[in-house]
Amino acid sequence: MVRIKSMKFKVVIIYDPEYDGYVVDVPELAGCMSQGKTIDEALTNIKDAIKGWLHVEEKHGRAVIRETGEVFLGEVTV
């Protein structure tokens, strides 16, 4: 398994009323998502998903390239 030393990833957490819980996406890791009925559960699950995502990338010899740019998250009403 990949050893992660304090790697930080930005996550986007969205409440999904159909699921009646939270969906978490890691924009930096294409396709890395998870969910949970509470925010705490969703965050615990996304940590496992990130570890699995990184493990698969390492297993297939693909380097994980960290983007260093700023990410701004906002909201716009039209």
pLDDT of residue 32: 96
Q: Report pLDDT digits (tens) over 7-47.
A: 889 899 999 999 999 999 999 899 999 999 999 999 999 99
DSSP string, 54-70: HHHHHHTT---PPP-S-
Among residues 4, 48, 11, 8, which one has the least CA distance to residue 26? 11
What strands, in cross-sheet order, belong to the sheet with 12-16?
A: 12-16, 21-25, 33-36
Among residues 66, 63, 69, 72, which one has the least CA distance to residue 2? 63
Give the number of other Cβ atoms within 10 Å of residue 68's Cβ. Answer: 5
Prediction pTM value: 0.76
